[in-house]
Amino acid sequence: MKRLSIIAILACLLYSCTKEEIAPYDLSRDNIYLNYKNTDSLVYSFAYHPDLERDTIWLPIIISGKAENHDREFSITAVDRSSTAVRDLHYEQLKSSYTMPADSGTISIPIVLLNLDTALINKSVDLTLQVSGGKDFASNLPGGIRTKRILFSSRLEEPAWWSSWPQMGKYSRVKHQLFLISSGTTDMVIQGSYPDWYMEVPRSLYYIANTSYLLNYPFEWIKEHPESGYMLEKRNDNTGDYDFYSKSAPTKRFRLQYFPTANKYVFIDENGGQVLF
């Protein structure tokens, strides 16, 4: 009998301890996290949108729990120790809180990136964001699914198709950027990449001709494409050179240098070389 009493006491202690540690689900607050299939970084380049001084990344948010019939607030913050991006130079200030609408379990939050730093042509910066419970949610989920790193710049890298078209000549980021502005496309086919690739030759030559026209006749191109928003402005350095830029992004400029011996204006690339076509 004494042995049975000891066992009964131990069983009661174990049961009461379990009840105290595991709270019913309905009594715990819902959690909130980023609705991505993986936790890899997001990569963005203003180089494909050179006329923009700002652009928006939409951050998908989801709750772990139930939708409620009232608005609920949560927070998004920049993780300074993991970020090189500077507020007001590389991104707009975040709000103090964000709202999950009533009867909803998901929402997309705008994160505004800025293209004001001319150094972004040669470097990338990263902005690490973390969502947390704020006023109405818990922050008990792992940091990995509540955090996202956005890596962005204004730089370009040589695309795989470039060397397939000898008409494009030597690669430079400035030439690539001028191609994006003038050609009418962001991409071209890699020669031999599929059986009927040659069917794309006329279209590709058209894109190349558009770029050639801008590089060789920039003043005429400006007159014929007012809808582009680009303009030429004489520099204040007594060189006779011009800056080529978009009115919507005046800090992003390309130098058009005058060569008197050839009586010709030529764009200059990031290495100080001539952009020839």
Residue finishing a domain among 95, 120, 153: 153
Q: How much is the pLDDT for 98?
A: 97
The token pair at 193 is 């990449």
The C-alpha atoms of residue 224 and residue 217 are separated, in whole angstroms, by 11
pLDDT beyond 60 at 2: no
pLDDT in tens, 132-146: 998 899 999 999 999
Co-location of 62 and 128 in the same domain: yes
Task: Identify whether 35 is part of a domain.
Answer: yes
What range does the domain containing 180 cover?
162-267
Count: domains in the chain: 2
* pLDDT tier, 121 (very low <50, low <70, confident <90, very high otherwise): confident
- 49 close to 85: Cβ distance less than 8 angstroms: no
Per-residue pLDDT of 199-216, as tens digits, reads 999 999 999 999 999 999
The answer to whether 29 touches 137, Cβ cutoff 8 Å, is yes
Query: Residues 147, 166: one domain?
Result: no
pLDDT, the chain, mean: 88
- Cα–Cα distance between 146 and 61 in angstroms, integer? 9
pLDDT at 20 exceeding the cut of 70: no
**Are 137 and 186 contained in the same domain?**
no
Tens-place pLDDT, residues 23-67: 444 446 899 999 987 656 788 989 888 778 999 999 999 999 999
Would you say residue 221 lies in a domain? yes
User: What separation in angstroms does the CA of 241 have from each of 236, 247, 266?
Assistant: 9, 18, 9
Q: Among residues 119, 153, 187, which one ends one of the domains?
A: 153
Q: Are 249 and 53 in contact (CB under 8 A)?
A: yes
User: 226 in a domain, yes or no?
Assistant: yes
Q: Is residue 243 part of a domain?
A: yes
pLDDT score at 179:
96
Whether residue 189 sits in one domain with residue 140? no
pLDDT at 50: 74
Q: Is 11's pLDDT higher than 70?
A: no
Strand 42-45 relative to strand 147-153: parallel, antiparallel, unpaired? parallel
Under 8 Å between Cβ of 189 and 204: yes
Do residue 133 and residue 179 come from a single domain?
no
pLDDT of residue 194: 83
**Final residue in a domain of this structure, among 153, 181, 203:** 153
Q: Considering the domain boundaries, does residue 201 fall inside one?
A: yes
User: Does the structure show a pLDDT above 70 at 226?
Assistant: yes
DSSP code at position 29: P
Q: Check whether 6 has a pLDDT greater than 60.
A: no
The answer to whether position 275 is within a domain reads no
Backbone torsion region of residue 229, taken as left when φ is above 0, otherwise alpha when ψ lies between -120 and 50, otherwise beta = left
Tens-digit pLDDT profile for residues 78-106: 999 999 999 999 999 999 999 999 999 99
Structure tokens at 87: 């507020």
- 104 and 57 share one domain: yes
Residue in this structure with the two tokens 């704020």, named with its chain if needed: 134
Give the number of other Cβ atoms within 10 Å of residue 71's Cβ.
12
Same domain, yes or no: 122 and 167: no
**Which among 186, 188, 256, 249 has a CA at the least distance from the CA of 220?**
256
Read off the pLDDT band of 14 (50, 70, 90). Answer: very low
CA distances for 37 relative to 79, 150, 161, 180, angstroms: 21, 15, 30, 31
Q: Are residues 143 and 169 in the same domain?
A: no
Q: For the chain, how long is the longest CA-to-CA vector?
A: 114
pTM (predicted TM-score): 0.67
Tens-digit pLDDT profile for residues 227-268: 999 999 999 998 999 999 999 888 889 999 999 999 999 999
Q: Is residue 272 part of a domain?
A: no
Distance, in Å, from the CA atom of 85 to the CA atom of 115, rounded to the nearest integer, reads 11
- In angstroms, the first-to-last Cα distance of the chain is 100
Return the minimum-mean-pLDDT range out of 7-21, 54-68, 140-154.
Answer: 7-21
Task: Say which DSSP state 147 is in.
Answer: E
DSSP tag of 189: P
Starting at the edge strand that comes first in sequence, how are the strands of the sheet with 31-34 ordered? 31-34, 54-64, 106-114
CATH of the domain at 40: 2.60.40.1740
Q: Torsions phi, psi of 164, nearest 5? A: -75, -15
In a domain, 195, yes or no: yes
Residue given tokens 């050639």 in the structure block:
212
Which pLDDT score is estimated for 18? 47
Residues 197 and 226 placed together within one structural domain of the fold: yes
Q: Tell me: pLDDT of 123 over 50.
A: yes
Helix (H, G, I), strand (E, B) or coil at 52: coil
Q: Which residues contact 140 (CB under 8 A, 6 or more apart)?
A: 31
